[in-house]
Chain A
Amino acid sequence: MSIQTFLDIALALLVIGVAVWTIVARDLFVAVVAYAVYGLFLALVWIRMYAPDVALTEAAVGGGVTGVLLVAAGKRLDMSAIDIDRQKPSTTLAILAAGCSILFAGVLMIVILSLPAPAPTLAPQAAAAASGPGAGLGNPITAVLMSYRSFDTMLEKVVLILAVVGVWSVGADQAWGAAPAPFGPDRPYDALVFLAKALAPVGAIIGFHIFWTGADAPGGAFQGGALLAAMWMVALMARLIELPRIDARWLRLALVAGPAVFLAVGIAGAMLAGSFFAYPSAFAKPLILSIEAFMVLSIAVALTMLVAGPPYRKGAP
């Protein structure tokens, strides 16, 4: 058994162990920390499966942004005041739920293990087709996302906007239009301010780098956008900048910019390149990169506003 196999088995066991810990933890805070840890170990698993793009997204979104989102939401709901034990389901219900879950997982396992051994896949054809019609990108994942499956990718960003609208609508009526409650303490510690001042600009450059390098190497718009969102939130938490009002025009423009530009290019493609969402072959790569730039902006803004929460006005319920 080679070193790599040993490492992989240990990693798999760790992932399962941390997943169990997430469920078993009684305190919400510990459970969310465990969830972030789970995201990190899962990112390592993705790396071992030769999928660095997914690993970066998993670490950024699963571990970082979602973890912070859960912990902020938990604080807002004051989960520590809720008595978990009082709401235990009855034993029959618990056994039924356990049985169904085990059955489902078992069926899934059998199905996956009985797949034919080089799994039938359209991935090589898709990558070839994507780099054919003028995409010219070195990273096949970006080529598939932005050229072969571009409509899906645009719709994903629209879903993000809908989520932000949903979060905003949770706020009190009187608070509509105000900024969300601030992230950080009113008088942050010096160490935090220093860290934010040093980290956020460097992180922003790195986030931009990861977006830009996604054309030819692992990376891409979503990962870059998530990192930019994280750095923006670091600056917000140190109160270096303040959250914008949700009726600010620039905010709403930034949110919509990504999918809007994408859609505009897609419609233009119908007239200029022959079909909806096709790219003219001479301009494909620069066009894709410009669309991605706007998408990075939208993703960064959307993720930050999702974590920031509903608008808040002092005195409103």
Chain B
Amino acid sequence: MSTAIDAFTIVCVAAGVFFYVAGTVGLLRFPDSPSRLHALTKADNLGLGLVALGLLPREPSVLGALKIVVIWALVMLSGASTAQLIGRVLRRGRR
């Protein structure tokens, strides 16, 4: 049973790392700021989400798992909102 949990953790964390790397590649290679912003928010949400998901079963207590979920929710909330704000600033023409 614990090997199944370990496998779940490894798969999720690996996928999360993949998305972080993908976000960086996007930040480096996409041609303009809005697409770079797109790459960035994907990394924020998916990368962290998968890593958090993978680490959930390893927590010894419910409180610890709850903490991870709260962190995840905070990052989703702030990531989405700040992406909107950055997008607004971009649209107003600051090249």
Contacts and interface: CB of A to CB of B under 8 A. Distances in A.
B5 interface: no
Contacts of B81: 191-192, 194-195
A199 interface: yes
A103 interface: no
Contact of B77 (A189, A192, A195, A206): A195
A192 B82 CA distance: 8
Given A194-B81, A195-B82, A189 B88 contact: yes
Nearest to B83: A191
B64 to A, nearest CB: 12
A189 B85 contact: yes
- Chain B, interface SS category: helix
Nearest to A203: B74
What is the interface residue range for chain B against chain A?
under 10
Contacts, number: 22
A167 to B, nearest CB: 28
B78 A199 contact: yes
A144 B74 CA distance: 33
Contacts of A198: 77
A191 B88 contact: yes
A33 to B, nearest CB: 13
A198 B79 CA distance: 13
A51 interface: no
A202 interface: yes
Nearest to A193: B81
Interface in B70-95: 70, 74, 77-78, 81-82, 84-85, 88
A210 to B, nearest CB: 12
Contacts of B88: 189, 191
Contacts of B82: 195
A195 B78 contact: yes
Interface in A175-229: 189, 191-192, 194-195, 198-199, 202, 206
A192 B85 contact: yes
Given A191-B88, A194-B81, A199-B74, 16 more contacts: A189-B84, A189-B85, A189-B88, A191-B81, A191-B84, A191-B85, A192-B81, A192-B85, A195-B77, A195-B78, A195-B82, A195-B85, A199-B77, A199-B78, A202-B70, A206-B70
Q: List 6 A-B pairs, minimum CB-CB distance, nearest first.
A: A195-B81, A191-B84, A191-B81, A191-B85, A198-B77, A189-B88
